[in-house]
Structure 1
Amino acid sequence: MGDGLPDLPPLFGPVFALREGGDALARAVALAPEHGAGCFVWVRAYARVEAAVVLEPEQPLAAARPALLAAAAAMADALAALGPPQAEIALRWPATLVVNRGVVGAARLAAPPGAAETAVPAWLAVGVEVRRALPPGVEPGTDPGRTALEEEGFDEADTAELTAAWARHLMTGLNEWQERGFARLAGRYLGWLERDPAQAGAARRGLDSATGDLVLQRPDGALTRRSLRAAVAEGVA
């Protein structure tokens, strides 16, 4: 079922490949009740990288939601490993992927409808979408805020390689979170997080382990918080 996808971590499977135009996260959500944890879906496409995997968390939804941040950081890790060394890779809160200051994609998260914040969800699904090539007829620089991997020198890795690399880095990140604690995930994610104008002057940045919220401590000691739950609900991620 992998149809040309390189080997994935052993806990990922079964693997389902979709044709161009498929929605990996939607398909993972549909398959989650039957196949459970590890079910992996990816899209065979030239112009974009798109994949999703089903997880079965052991924490309530509020504490498990940072799986979205793990998915975003894993894609940043994959791009750094497979892209040109001069590429500037970053994450924009909470899960937007940026290369050389241009948006190339984002991570996404889905939970069972009506899942309570304080209850352990039956499953979660995390996915990623990355633009590999600009749509036909779109000239580079038309939208300075957006770009594609091909425009930024990512010439070597194809869609399947990038998909498999994301899966491997995601598994590493999830294992570290489980075995070494939330601080490990926070450190990995914050290492990629760019500083935007709303964070100007912030002396310290951290993540709330109970919610995944971004907490900013300014030089005067004042704290501000950016809600991960709200960002996901608003479709920012």
Structure 2
Amino acid sequence: MTVDDGYEAVWPPLLPPLLSGCEVAADADPMAAAVRLAAGGGDPGAFVFGPAGDRLRFAITLAPEVPLERALQMAHTLMVAAGDSIGALTPPEVAVEYRWPTTVLVNGAEAGRVRLATSGSDPAAVPDWLVVGLDLQLFADGSFEPGDRPGQTSLYEEGSGPIPPSRLLESMSRHFLTWLRRWEEDGFRPVHDAWRARAEPTMTVGAAGFIGLDEDGRALLKGPAGTRADSLTAHLEEPGG
């Protein structure tokens, strides 16, 4: 779908003062660019985003002060922020849910995912940096007709209306900072409860059923061999990928 003058007029997005915006080219990956910034010693709070188009893509650089297992709760935090933002800007019939580990569902179909990269993979060690990002399909990309991709969708296909990408970026950045502040002040429990409230009702992960999240944000999965905890450390992107 081609954006109209309403999208052009409000670009680039106006971000909160705590975040520093950086737009990348259409053929560049904001996540990879943010990883390069973080790994190169850049200041935390860089908000790297792609140009307005069919997809909403951004990544945020962070400097954790807690062990990796806790730092990865930023994935839950961003998912909750995205859900709140979409919910605030779309009609009530546009329902947002979460599928473990990082998939964002709209009306039961996959519309996006949160991405994670960090300087290390030891759950007990404090990483030098962490990058959390989101890739969300706003419109059908033109290569498929609506209904030709079972299980996949876009916001527009689900009735969101033509939301300016800049408005979504602004909203998500503010919701993320609000939830980050709450995480810092009240711990993981509020984020945990908000994520769990939007979890896909009948979720399975491979052959295992999803039971819930533990206090650290790991998924509790019940399968033929019993119940196990699945950590987001198993779902990190390669720092250079």
| Range into which the TM-score falls when normalised by the shorter chain | 0.7 to 0.9
For residues 53 and 5 of structure 1, the distance between their equivalents in structure 2, rounded to whole angstroms, comes to: 16
Q: Which residue of 1 aligns with 2:220?
A: 215
After the TM superposition, which residues 169-184 of structure 1 pair with which residues of structure 2 at under 5 Å, given as runs? 169-184=175-190
- Aligned counterpart for 2:230 among listed residues 204, 226, 232: 226
Over aligned residues, Cα RMSD in angstroms? Answer: 2.6
Count residues with an aligned counterpart. 225
Query: Does the 8 A contact of 1:44 with 1:160 survive in 2?
Result: no
The counterpart of 1:48, out of the listed 44, 50, 55, is 55
Instruction: Give the 3-state SS of the residue equivalent to 1:53 in structure 2.
Output: strand
Secondary structure (helix, strand or coil) at the match of 2:41 reads: helix
**Distance 1:208-1:18 versus aligned 2 partners, 3 A rule:** same
1: CA distance, partners of 2:152 / 2:198: 18
| Stretches of structure 1 lacking an aligned partner (at least 5 in a row) | none
Determine the C-alpha separation between the residues in 2 that align with 1:79 and 1:90.
11
Could you tell me which amino acid in structure 2 is paired with residue 214 of structure 1?
A
1:80 aligned partner, one-letter code: G
Q: 1:155-199 CA deviation, whole Å, 9 max, x = no partner?
A: 141111111111111111111111011111111211211123438
Amino acid in the other structure paired with 1:100: N
The whole-number CA distance in structure 2 between the counterparts of 1:19 and 1:186 is 35
Deviation of 1:215 after TM superposition, in Å, equals 3.0
Q: Equivalent residues in 2 for 1:29-48 (5 A)?
A: 29-32=35-38, 33-48=40-55
Normalising by structure 2, we get a TM-score of 0.84
Look up the match of 1:162. 168
Aligned position for 1:148? 154
Query: Which of structure 1's runs of 4+ aligned residues deviate more than 4 A?
Result: none
Aligned partner of 1:118 in structure 2 is: 124
Farther off after superposition, 4-13 or 118-127: 4-13
C-alpha distance 86-127 of structure 1, shift in aligned 2 (>3 A)? same
Residue among 192, 199, 213 paired with 1:206: 213
Note the C-alpha offset of 1:46.
1.4
Give, as a single letter, the amino acid of the residue that structure 1 aligns with 2:22.
F
Identity %, equivalent residues: 33
Partner of 1:86 in structure 2? Answer: 93
| TM-score of the aligned structures, taking structure 1 as reference length | 0.85
Q: What residue number does 2:22 align with?
A: 16
Q: Which one-letter code corresponds to 2:147 in the other structure?
A: G
